[in-house]
Amino acid sequence: MQKQILIINNNVGVSYLLAKILKSPKVEIIVKNSYEDVTEIVKKQCFDLILTDALIDGTFMFEYIEELRFNCPNTRIIVMSEMGQQTIKNSLKAMGMDYFVSLPFNPIKIKERVSNYLYL
């Protein structure tokens, strides 16, 4: 059975790169690039993993992560951001983030972390 990953990023190029890095016969990847698209899809289904930018146009960071966690309580969430302050990381962790990735990211480490979370 395929695992499902939701990739969320305002930057279409970053989304494409992440999807390409994580592509596998064992994984179905869905890409969304706007807050509206994300809220619509997470109300209908949950994923095995969400890989998201901390800031998505149309929402505030903490609101957005809380909404993801509320709609998909059992989904692993990896948050990516250029903001690396420890207070932000601690706040995100308290809201249910499973892992934080500082940008720019290392493709090998992202793939390893995702594989570990999905037991691939």
pLDDT 10s digits, 101-120: 888 889 999 999 999 999 86
Best CA proximity match to 26, nearest among 96, 102, 105, 118 = 118
The structure's pTM equals 0.91
Contact by Cβ (8 Å): 45, 1: no
Between CA 50 and CA 46 the distance in angstroms is: 9
Contact by Cβ (8 Å): 98, 70: no
Contact by Cβ (8 Å): 103, 80: yes
Residue 104: asked if its preceding bond is cis (omega within 30°), the reply is: yes
Which pair of tokens denotes residue 44? 């209908």
Looking at residue 87, its pLDDT comes to: 80
Which pair of tokens denotes residue 36? 């509206």
Looking at residue 58, its pLDDT comes to: 78
Domain limits of the chain? Answer: 3-118
Percent of the chain's residues with pLDDT above 70: 98
| pLDDT digits 0-9 by tens, 8-66 | 998 999 999 999 999 999 999 999 998 889 989 999 999 999 999 888 887 776 788 88
CATH code matching the domain that covers 3-118, chosen among 3.30.70.270, 3.40.50.2300, 1.10.10.10, 3.40.50.10190: 3.40.50.2300
